[in-house]
C-alpha cells in the first residue's frame, strides 16, 4: 500500500484529498504546516507528498527544498499545490525539485490521473 | 543753495564797490603835490566823521544797486527749483511759466523735457500693464485647465523644485501622507525619497539618450513616510531635461494578488468537495453531509470575497536586460566594489521595476554578510516566458531558513522601501528564492519577459545623468522662497515657561505671497494664558481643547518651512520658544532667518518705532486680521516685499548681505 502525506492547512481541501486518496487505496497521513510535514516525512518517508505552497511557518517551497537535499527522500514524489496559479511559481517549484505542480482550483479527476501516474497505480 | 548764492552775491558786490572807491581815492591823492596833500589831510582830519558817513552811504547805494540787478537776473532760481520738485514728485501736470520771471527759453526747455519724461513714463506703464494683463489671462487659463485635470501631476524644476501641481496630485498626496507638504517652490524631496527621484531621473535621461519619441520612465516611488505610488517621469520642456513631470497613481497590486489567491483557495476547496459528491455517490451519509457542508461554507465565503480583480501585476516598464543589469550594478557598486561581473543576454528584454529590484539585491547582500573575498556575478537567464535574475556569490552561503523567512516578508525599510522582497517579486508576477549551484550560492528572482521585444539595446556604454543639485536659484533675495511666520503665546517670557498656543505661516514664492500655501494651527498647552496676552490675541483655554500638542505642530511646521528662508518680525522672540519647546521633543527648526524688525531698522535708522503696525503704516500697508498668528505672518510677508526694493537701494541684494547687515543693527542685540 502506498503511503501518501498531505501537507495543507486548509481543512476543507484536506477532507476531500484524504477521502480521494483512501478511495485510491492509499495510506494517508496529514500535516497542517511545514514543520509537521517534515517531522512526519522523517517518521515515515512517504511515496507521495501533496504539498501546499502557502502554509504557516515553513512554506511548501522550504519543505520541498529540504527534502530534496536529503538522499533518504530520493524516492518520494512531490506534488505541489498552489492557489496562486502563476507560471513563475510553477517554475520555482520545478527548479526546487518538485515532480509535479497542481494549481488550485484543480479537477480531482485530473489530480487522480497524475497521482496514478506518479505512483504507478493501475487505472 | 539759493540762500548761499544770495549771500555770496551780496558780499561780493559790497567788497567790489569798497575796493573801487579806495583805489580811485588813492590814485587821485597820489597824483597831487605834497603841499596840497597836506592841506587835504588837515581838511580831512577836521571832517573825518562826515567823510566816513559819506563813504558808507556811497557803498550802501552801490550794493543796493548791485542787488537789484542780481535779483532781476537770477531771483527766479529758488522759485524754479520748487516748481520742478513739485512737478517731479506729485503734480506732473504742472508747467513752468515765463510770467514767473523765468527766462522764456529756459521755461520752454524744462517744459519740453518734462513732456518727454512723462510721456515715456506713461508708455512704459501702459506696456507693463498690458504685459501683466496678458500674463494674468494666460495664467488664469492655465489654472483653469489644470484645475479640470483629473490626473495627479507635479511639474518640477531640474533641481526638484515644485513649479506646479494639479489639485488631484494635492489630494492624492494629502491622502497618502497627511503630514507632507506639497508646495510651490519646495523641493519634491520633502515628500519623496531623494534616491528614488534620482533613480527616476536617471532612467528618464536614459530614455532620452536612447532617442525615444516620447521618453518616460515608470517606477514605484516611495514617499518619505513609506507610502508607495506608481510614478511616471516625463521631461519638461522639449527634449532637454530642464525639469520633469511626475505623474502619480496609487499602488494597489499587492492587495489584489492577495485577494485572488484567497479566491482560488476557496474555489479549490469547493470544487474538490463537489467532485467527491459527484464521483463517489456511494459514500456514507455522514461523509456526504461533511462534503455538502464544505460546499456551502466555501461558496458563501467566495460570494463574500468576490470583487473586481484587475491585473495583479504592477504596470512595469519594458527594459533591455543589459540596461537593467547596468542599473542594478550601479546601485550595488558601493557594496560589492568591482567584483560584480555582469552577465548579459543579448536581445533579451524584461518587464521590471528596477528601483525595487536594486533595493532587494542590496538588502540581500547586506543581510548575507559574505566575506570580502567573495566574487559575485549578476546575470539574467532567459527562460520560457520568464527571465531569472541570478545573483551568485562564489562563497556557498545562503540565509538560513528562518532568516530567509523573516527577510522575505519584512519591508525593506533600510533601503527606503515599505515593500517586502516577496511583495516585490509578487509585483512582478514573479518569484524569489535562494538555492545552491555549482558556481556558488544563488539568489534568484524570476521576472516576466517583455511581451514586445522592441528595438535592440543601446550599443554604447550608458552614461548616467547626474541630477544632484538642490541649490535653488542662488542667494538673491528676490528669488528665494520664504516662509513668513508668527506665533501667539501664553505670555511674554519663554524662559519662565510661557508656551506657543498658535503658529501661522505663509509662503512667498517668486516675490508673491501664496495665499493657498498656509500653515495655521492652534497648539494645546497646559499653561495658563496670561490675561494681558489673551487681550491681545483673544485665544482662551477652551479654544485650545483638543488641539495638537506642540511637538506635533512644530514637527509639521518644520516640514512646512523646509527648504525655505524663515521670515519673522522680532523673530528672536519666536525662535526662543521654538528652541525651548523643540528641545523637549528633539525638533530643531534650523533655517536661515530674516527679521523685518532688523530690516526696518536698516532702512529707517531714524524711525522711532519698528513695531509691525508702525512699519506697515510707513510702507503704506493697512494691517488686516492683526493679532492672529496667520494674520501677522501675512503682514510680515507684505512688509518684507515692500522692504525689498528699499534694501536693494542700500546695496543689499543677497541673503548673506541681508543677514550680515541685520546683525550689525542695534536691535539685533535683543534677547529673550
Chain B partners of A84 at a C-beta cutoff of 8 Å? Answer: 257, 260-261, 264
CA atoms of B42 and B14, how far apart (whole Å): 29
Mean pLDDT of chain A: 90
Residue B512: CB atoms within 10 A of its CB come to 11
Interacting residues of B237 by C-beta distance below 8 A, sequence separation 6+: B243
> What sign results for the dihedral spanned by CA atoms B549, B550, B555, B560?
positive
d(CA B599, CA B611): 12
| A21 in B contact zone (CB under 8 Å) | no
| Residue corresponding to grid cell 505661516 | B505
B302 in A contact zone (CB under 8 Å):
no
Over 90: is that where the pLDDT of B523 sits?
yes
* Least CB–CB distance from A91: residue in B260, B275, B383: B383
Kindly state the cell numbers that stand for B535.
Answer: 487681550
On chain B, the residues whose CB falls within 8 A of the CB of A107 are 271, 275
Whether residues A84 and B435 touch (CB distance < 8 A) is answered with: no
Residue of A86, A90, A102, A115 to mutate, interface with B, max B Cβ within 10 Å: A86
Hey, is the C-beta of B385 within 8 angstroms of any chain A C-beta? yes
pLDDT single digits (tens) B315-326: 777 888 888 888
Shortest alpha-carbon distance between residue A89 and chain B (Å): 6
Rg for chain A, CA atoms, rounded: 13
**From B384, which residue of chain A is nearest by alpha-carbon distance?**
A91
Contact partners, residue A62, CB within 8 Å, separation at least 6: A34, B401, B405
Residue A81 contacts residue A104 (beta carbons within 8 Å): yes
Q: Which of B29, B383, B454, B444 is nearest to B210 (CA)?
A: B454
Least CB–CB distance from B261: residue in A16, A59, A83? A83
Contact B570, B613 (CB under 8 A): no
Peptide bond into B185 cis (omega under 30): no
Mapped to the 3 state alphabet, what secondary structure does A20-50 carry?
Answer: HHHHCCCEEEEECCHHHHHHHHHHCCCCEEE
Q: Give DSSP secondary structure letters for A80-110.
A: EEESS--HHHHHHHHHTT-SEEEESS--HHH
Q: Does A75 touch chain B (CB under 8 A)?
A: no
Which of B268, B280, B302 would best serve as a mutation to test chain A binding (most A beta carbons within 10 A)?
A: B268
Q: Residue B155 and residue B182: Cα distance in Å, rounded?
A: 11
Which chain B residues have a beta carbon less than 8 Å from that of A19?
276, 280, 283, 287, 291
- Residue B239's pLDDT band (cuts 50, 70, 90): low
CA pair distance A18, B287, nearest whole angstrom: 12
Asked if B405 and A62 come within 8 Å (Cβ–Cβ), the reply is yes
Of A10, A58, A62, the CB nearest to B269: A10
Residues sharing a CB contact under 8 Å with residue B416, sequence separation 6 or more, in sequence order: B193, B195, B196, B222, B359
A84 reaches B (C-beta below 8 A): yes
pLDDT of residue B338: 59
**Using only C-alpha atoms, what is the Rg of chain B?**
43
Alpha-carbon gap, residue B200 to A83, rounded angstroms: 35
A14 has pLDDT over 90: yes
Please give the torsion angle defined by the CA atoms of residues B86, B92, B97 and B101, in that order, rounded to the nearest 10 degrees: 20
Pairing outcome for strands A3-7 and A27-31: parallel
The closest CB to that of A88, out of B265, B287, B430, belongs to: B430
Q: What's the CA gap between A51 and B500, in Å, rounded?
A: 63
Query: Percent of chain B beyond pLDDT 90?
Result: 23
Of B216-220, B306-310, B514-518, the poorest mean pLDDT is in B306-310
The stretch B428-438 carries a mean pLDDT of 89
Q: What does the alpha-carbon distance between residue A88 and residue A108 come to, in Å, rounded to a whole number?
A: 23
Q: Which of A16, A59, A92 sits opposite B273 (nearest CB)?
A: A16
What does the pLDDT read at residue B454? Answer: 44
High-pLDDT (> 70) share of chain B, % = 89
The b/e string for B36-67 (b: 16+ C-beta within 10 A; e otherwise) is: eeeeeeeeeeeeeeeeeeeeeeebeebbeebb
Q: Does B288 touch chain A (CB under 8 A)?
A: no
8 Å CB contact of A108 and B280: no
**Residue B255, pLDDT score:** 60
pLDDT range class, residue B623, cuts 50, 70, 90: low
Residues contacting B337, CB < 8 A, separation 6+: none
Q: Check if B627 is active-site.
A: yes
- Residues 6 or more apart from B251 whose CB is under 8 A from it? B220, B228, B229, B230, B314
Phi, psi at residue B377, to the nearest 5°?
-130, 145
Q: Does B268 sit within 8 Å of A83, measured CB to CB? A: yes
What whole-number distance in Å separates Cα of residue B90 and Cα of residue B112? 18
Number of Cβ atoms within 10 Å of the Cβ of B126: 10
Taking CB atoms and an 8 Å limit, are B386 and A87 in contact across chains?
A: yes
pLDDT at position B241 is 61
B440-444 mean pLDDT: 92
| Residue closest to B241 by CA, chosen among B193, B266, B209 | B209
Taking an 8 Å cut-off on Cβ atoms, the answer to whether A106 and B268 are in contact is yes
Place of cell 536581445: B347
Is B380:B345 a contact under the CB 8 Å cutoff? Answer: yes
**Residue range A21-65, pLDDT digits in tens:** 999 999 999 999 999 999 999 999 999 999 999 888 888 999 999
Q: Which of B570, B651, B658 is nearest to B610 (CA)?
A: B570
Q: For residue B123, what pLDDT band results from cuts at 50, 70 and 90?
A: very high
**Rounded-to-integer distance, Cα B29 and Cα B17, Å:** 19
Handedness of CA B310, B312, B317, B319 (dihedral sign): negative
CA gap B111, B382 in Å, rounded: 89
- Whether B259 and A83 have beta carbons less than 8 Å apart is answered as no
Alpha-carbon distance B263 to nearest alpha carbon in chain A (angstroms): 8
The answer to whether B512 contacts chain A (CB < 8 Å) is no
Q: Do B246 and B153 meet the contact criterion of CB atoms below 8 Å apart?
A: yes
B308: pLDDT confidence band, cut at 50, 70 and 90? very low
Category of A10 on φ-ψ map: left (φ > 0), alpha (ψ -120 to 50) or beta? beta
Which residues does chain A have within 8 Å of residue B267's beta carbon, measured at their own beta carbons? 104-105
B269 to chain A: which residues are within 8 Å by CB?
10, 12-13, 16
A108, closest residue in chain B (CA to CA): B272
In eight-state DSSP terms, residue B450 is P
Distance CA B272, CA B376 (A): 47
Interhelix angle for A34-43 vs A60-68, to 10°? 30
pLDDT at position B462, please? Answer: 22
- Give B402 to chain A, closest Cα distance, Å: 9
Closest CA to B183 of B590, B561, B473, B568: B561
Q: Which helix (H) or strand (E) holds B52?
A: helix B48-74
Is the pLDDT assigned to residue B105 strictly greater than 70?
yes
Q: Is the pLDDT of residue B238 over 60?
A: no
Residues B95 and B116: their CA atoms lie apart, in Å, by 13
- Distance separating alpha carbons of residues B513 and B515, to the nearest angstrom: 6
Q: Please tell me which residue, B344 or B503, carries the higher pLDDT value.
A: B503
pTM of the entire predicted model: 0.50
**Which residues from chain B sit within 8 angstroms of residue A14, using beta carbons?**
none
Tell me whether residues A16 and B261 touch, CB distance under 8 A. Answer: no
Higher-pLDDT residue of B215, B502? B502
Model confidence over B332-377: pLDDT tens digits?
A: 888 876 556 666 666 788 889 988 999 999 999 999 988 888 888 8
Query: How far does the CA of residue B446 sit from the closest CA of chain A (Å)?
Result: 7
CB nearest A13 (choices: B268, B383, B448): B268
Q: Which of A81, A92, A108 sits opposite B275 (nearest CB)?
A: A108
**A108 interfaces chain B, CB cutoff of 8 Å:** yes
Return the higher-pLDDT residue of B469 and B50: B50
Chains A, B: CB contacts under 8 A, how many? 103
Please indicate if any CB of chain A lies within 8 Å of the CB of B643: no
* B477: nearest Cα among B653, B656, B662: B653
Task: Look at B433 and A96 and tell me if their CB atoms are within 8 Å.
Answer: yes
Distances (CA, A) of B536 to B199, B491, B672: 51, 10, 19
pLDDT at A83: 80
> Residue B635: pLDDT above 80?
yes
Q: Are strands B152-157 and A100-103 parallel, antiparallel or unpaired?
A: unpaired
Amino acid at each position: 500500500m502506498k503511503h501518501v502525506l498531505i501537507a495543507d492547512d486548509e481543512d476543507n481541501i484536506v477532507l476531500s484529498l484524504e477521502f480521494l486518496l483512501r478511495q485510491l487505496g492509499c495510506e494517508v497521513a496529514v500535516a497542517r504546516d511545514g514543520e509537521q510535514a517534515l517531522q512526519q516525512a522523517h517518521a515515515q518517508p512517504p511515496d507521495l507528498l501533496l504539498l501546499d505552497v502557502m502554509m504557516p511557518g515553513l512554506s511548501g517551497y522550504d519543505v520541498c527544498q529540504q527534502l530534496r537535499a536529503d538522499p533518504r527522500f530520493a524516492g518520494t514524489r512531490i506534488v505541489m499545490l498552489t492557489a496562486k496559479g502563476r507560471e513563475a511559481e510553477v517554475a520555482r517549484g520545478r527548479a526546487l525539485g518538485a515532480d509535479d505542480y497542481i494549481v488550485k482550483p484543480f479537477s480531482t479527476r485530473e489530480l487522480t490521473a497524475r497521482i496514478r501516474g506518479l505512483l504507478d497505480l493501475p487505472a | 543753495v539759493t540762500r548761499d548764492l544770495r549771500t555770496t552775491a551780496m558780499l561780493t558786490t559790497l567788497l567790489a564797490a569798497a575796493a573801487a572807491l579806495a583805489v580811485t581815492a588813492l590814485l587821485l591823492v597820489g597824483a597831487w603835490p605834497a603841499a596840497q596833500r597836506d592841506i587835504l589831510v588837515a581838511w580831512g582830519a577836521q571832517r573825518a566823521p562826515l567823510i566816513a558817513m559819506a563813504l558808507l552811504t556811497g557803498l550802501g547805494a552801490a550794493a543796493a544797486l548791485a542787488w537789484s540787478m542780481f535779483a532781476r537776473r537770477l531771483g527766479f532760481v529758488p522759485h524754479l527749483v520748487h516748481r520742478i520738485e513739485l512737478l517731479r514728485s506729485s503734480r506732473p501736470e504742472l508747467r513752468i511759466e515765463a510770467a514767473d520771471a523765468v527766462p522764456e527759453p529756459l521755461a520752454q526747455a524744462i517744459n519740453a523735457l518734462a513732456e518727454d519724461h512723462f510721456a515715456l513714463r506713461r508708455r512704459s506703464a501702459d506696456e507693463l500693464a498690458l504685459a501683466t494683463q496678458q500674463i494674468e489671462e494666460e495664467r488664469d487659463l492655465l489654472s483653469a485647465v489644470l484645475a479640470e485635470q483629473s490626473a495627479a501631476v507635479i511639474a518640477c524644476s531640474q533641481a526638484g523644485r515644485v513649479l506646479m501641481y494639479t489639485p488631484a496630485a494635492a489630494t492624492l498626496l494629502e491622502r497618502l501622507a497627511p503630514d507632507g507638504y506639497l508646495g510651490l517652490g519646495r523641493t519634491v524631496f520633502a515628500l519623496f525619497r531623494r534616491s528614488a527621484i534620482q533613480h527616476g531621473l536617471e532612467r528618464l535621461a536614459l530614455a532620452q539618450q536612447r532617442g525615444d519619441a516620447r521618453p518616460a520612465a515608470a517606477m514605484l516611488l516611495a514617499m518619505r513616510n513609506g507610502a508607495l505610488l506608481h510614478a511616471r517621469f516625463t521631461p519638461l520642456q522639449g527634449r532637454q531635461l530642464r525639469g520633469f513631470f511626475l505623474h502619480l497613481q496609487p499602488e494597489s497590486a499587492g492587495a489584489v494578488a492577495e485577494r485572488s489567491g484567497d479566491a482560488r483557495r476557496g474555489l479549490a476547496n469547493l470544487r474538490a468537495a463537489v467532485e467527491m459528491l459527484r464521483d463517489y455517490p456511494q459514500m456514507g451519509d455522514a461523509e456526504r453531509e461533511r462534503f455538502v457542508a464544505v460546499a456551502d461554507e466555501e461558496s458563501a465565503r467566495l460570494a463574500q470575497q468576490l470583487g473586481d480583480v484587475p491585473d495583479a501585476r504592477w504596470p512595469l516598464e519594458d527594459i533591455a536586460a543589459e540596461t537593467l543589469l547596468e542599473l542594478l550594478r550601479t546601485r550595488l557598486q558601493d557594496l560589492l566594489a568591482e567584483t560584480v561581473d555582469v552577465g548579459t543576454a543579448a536581445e533579451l528584454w524584461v518587464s521590471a521595476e528596477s528601483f525595487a529590484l536594486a533595493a532587494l539585491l542590496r538588502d540581500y547582500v547586506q543581510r548575507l554578510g559574505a566575506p570580502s573575498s567573495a566574487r559575485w556575478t549578476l546575470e539574467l537567464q532567459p527562460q520560457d516566458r520568464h527571465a531569472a535574475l541570478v545573483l551568485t556569490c562564489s562563497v556557498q552561503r545562503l540565509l538560513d531558513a528562518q532568516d530567509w523567512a523573516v527577510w522575505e516578508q519584512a519591508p525593506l525599510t533600510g533601503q527606503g522601501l515599505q515593500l517586502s522582497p516577496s511583495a516585490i517579486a509578487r509585483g512582478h508576477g514573479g518569484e524569489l528564492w535562494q538555492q545552491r549551484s555549482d558556481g556558488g550560492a544563488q539568489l534568484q528572482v524570476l521576472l516576466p519577459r517583455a511581451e514586445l521585444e522592441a528595438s535592440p539595446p543601446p550599443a554604447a556604454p550608458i552614461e548616467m545623468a547626474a541630477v544632484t543639485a538642490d541649490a535653488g536659484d542662488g542667494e538673491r533675495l528676490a528669488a528665494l522662497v520664504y516662509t513668513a511666520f508668527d506665533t501667539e503665546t501664553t505670555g511674554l517670557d519663554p524662559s519662565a515657561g510661557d508656551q506657543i498656543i498658535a503658529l501661522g505661516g505663509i509662503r512667498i514664492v517668486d516675490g508673491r505671497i501664496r495665499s493657498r500655501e498656509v500653515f495655521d494651527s492652534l497648539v494645546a498647552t497646559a499653561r495658563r494664558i496670561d490675561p494681558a496676552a489673551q487681550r491681545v490675541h483673544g485665544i482662551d483655554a477652551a479654544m485650545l481643547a483638543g488641539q495638537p500638542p506642540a511637538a506635533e505642530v512644530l514637527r509639521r511646521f518644520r516640514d512646512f518651512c523646509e527648504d525655505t528662508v524663515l521670515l519673522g518680525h522680532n523673530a528672536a522672540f519666536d525662535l526662543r520658544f521654538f528652541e525651548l519647546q523643540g528641545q523637549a521633543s528633539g525638533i530643531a527648526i534650523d533655517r536661515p532667518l530674516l527679521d523685518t524688525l532688523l530690516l526696518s531698522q536698516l532702512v529707517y535708522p531714524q524711525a522711532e518705532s519698528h513695531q509691525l503696525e508702525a512699519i506697515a503704516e510707513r510702507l503704506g500697508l493697512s494691517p488686516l486680521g492683526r493679532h492672529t498668528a496667520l494674520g501677522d505672518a501675512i503682514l510680515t510677508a507684505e512688509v518684507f516685499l515692500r522692504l525689498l526694493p528699499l534694501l536693494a537701494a542700500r546695496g543689499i541684494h543677497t541673503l548673506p548681505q541681508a543677514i550680515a547687515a541685520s546683525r550689525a543693527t542695534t536691535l539685533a542685540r535683543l534677547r529673550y
